[in-house]
Amino acid sequence: MMINSSLKQLGQQLASKQISSVELTQAYLQRVTQLNPTINAFITLDEEKTITQAKAADARIAAGDFGPLTGIPLAQKDIFCAKGWRTTCSSKMLETFIAPYDAHVISQFDAAGAVNLGKTNMDEFAMGSSNETSYFGGVKNPWDFDRVPGGSSGGSAAAVAARLCAAATGTDTGGSIRQPASLCGFTGLKPTYGLVSRYGMIAFASSLDQAGPMAKSAEDCALMLNVMAGFDERDSTSVNREKEDYTRGLAHMHGEQPLKGLRIGLPKEYFAEGLSADVAKVIETAIAEYKKLGAEIVDISLPNNNLSIPVYYVLAPAEASSNLSRYDGVRYGHRAAEYNDLQEMYMKSRAEGFGAEVKRRILIGTYVLSAGYYDAYYLKAQQIRRLIAQDFVEAFKHCDVIMGPAAPSTAFKAGEKTSDPVAMYLEDLYTIAVNLAGLPGMSIPAGFAQNGDGKPLPVGLQIIGNYFDEARMLDVGHAYQQVTDWHTQMPVALENI
């Protein structure tokens, strides 16, 4: 079935002209038309632009000028500016903003000949773990429509899980790729900070934000990352290093014990209080599978992990409060209809344009940066951030990758945590430290837990690698996906649409 094909398979079919990009794109668009009104994964579609790109891709294929992703329809998180496309960050503030330029990620995919299928829903300015802070409404988890897809990349997550696109992009500031990957059952990778340029990606917390692929498999993620990664002089934090082929090791992940010699670190803090029993069971089974693949298990400790959430909720809001100052109603974005003076224009425009969670974080951020509080909050948090990073440096002396859960539980019900921000923040218990340290992390489907209604809910296994060790992580994910089929499963109800 085409919608379940891997990127490699789709690429081969396009290259051999078994199918055209226009046909493939139209098939996905049709599926989007059917399912999106329910799932709400996409917030902006532009069929004309999309088909124009598909035609251009077909022309490139006909001319023999194409790569692995040429002609493949991808969903783009609405955090990336795409020239001529409405780019909202799921905020009323940018409801009518048409980006006049392309983000680095978008232009990389354009150059590769991929097709932009549409812009996906997300938590407003990427602030949230359930996609419920979106101005454009929540997103349904394809496995159970009563439940959230996770966030902030909830739209891209649901689009991949429901097979509304071949693959998607996301961004991850505290877990926004990995937690939804876990809750929706697909493979999502947050690369090392600095690997993918942030240019044109609307900033939430600049020192933590990182774009990455969201796709069905590790192999698909590797193909996506090949396009996304690379030095960009427009982002001063982009790392200037030689380009890698992230698929280079995948072919060796077959046969007996392909992971022989691999040391997997299990941090005791990831299996302590806070982890639900059904998730723990799935993770343990997955670890057992890794032993069969030849890996060796090492017990490690990340002693400062419990500080990662408080540290994150000082640093990320601090940066956000400043990053979001540009939305002042002066040059673009929402401006209040009526005001008497400048002060009132600012206040009304921002009061009307931002949602509650965004306001909460602007307030926290403004507070922690204020004179008299800066040392106690921001500076202290920066010091602890270094300790958290140091924990990982220590850990990687004893292991090659770290594994654990990506989220403490399976997908929760919509509305369940919206009134309790701290409970919501705890969703990122296992992901945030990775952002604080700037390390790469990914989540792969590792099985299912049954929820109360008898519906299966996906569970993700998190793989954390050392800096710029994405290729190894993808190998490790791919090896597992050669002997399991969790990543090929999709919600039964959506299979025959």
Write out the catalytic residue numbers. Answer: 77, 152, 176
User: Which of 89, 223, 473, 479 touches other proteins by CB under 8 A?
Assistant: 89
Binding residue count for other proteins, defined by CB under 8 A? 43
- In whole angstroms, the minimum distance from the beta carbon of 80 to other proteins comes to 8
User: Distance (Å, rounded) from C-alpha 130 to C-alpha 140?
Assistant: 10
Q: Which two tokens stand for residue 452?
A: 């109360």
Of 326, 258, 321, 263, which is closest to residue 292 (Cα–Cα)? Answer: 258
| Contact of 48 with 22, CB cutoff 8 Å | no
Write out the binding residues for other proteins, residues 341-400 only, by CB under 8 A: 342, 346, 366, 369-371, 374, 378
Q: Which is nearer to other proteins, 30 or 383 (CB)?
A: 383
CA atoms within 13 A on the CB side of 63: 12
436 binds other proteins (CB under 8 A): no
159 binds other proteins (CB under 8 A): no
Of 496, 470, 472, 456, which is closest to residue 184 (Cα–Cα)? Answer: 456
Q: Which is nearer to other proteins, 329 or 445 (CB)?
A: 329
Of 235, 153, 206, which is closest to residue 321 (Cα–Cα)? Answer: 206
Identify any residues that bridge with 190 across adjacent strands, giving them in sequence order: 441
Write out the binding residues for other proteins, residues 257-316 only, by CB under 8 A: none
205 binds other proteins (CB under 8 A): yes
| Contact of 116 with 109, CB cutoff 8 Å | yes
- In whole angstroms, the minimum distance from the beta carbon of 81 to other proteins comes to 5
236 binds other proteins (CB under 8 A): yes
332 binds other proteins (CB under 8 A): yes
237 binds other proteins (CB under 8 A): yes
| DSSP letters for 74-109 | EEEETTB--TTSB--TT-GGGTTPBPSS--HHHHHH
User: Distance (Å, rounded) from C-alpha 196 to C-alpha 434?
Assistant: 16
Show the binding pattern over residues 91-120: x = contacts other proteins (CB under 8 A), - = does not: ---x--x-xxx-x-----------------
84 binds other proteins (CB under 8 A): no
87 binds other proteins (CB under 8 A): yes
216 binds other proteins (CB under 8 A): no
Helical packing angle, 470-483 and 218-228, nearest 10°: 160
Q: Which two tokens stand for residue 205?
A: 């917390």
Applying CB under 8 A, the residues found at the interface with other proteins are 80-81, 87, 89, 94, 97, 99-101, 103, 198-203, 205-207, 233-237, 318-319, 321-322, 324-326, 328, 330-332, 342, 346, 366, 369-371, 374, 378
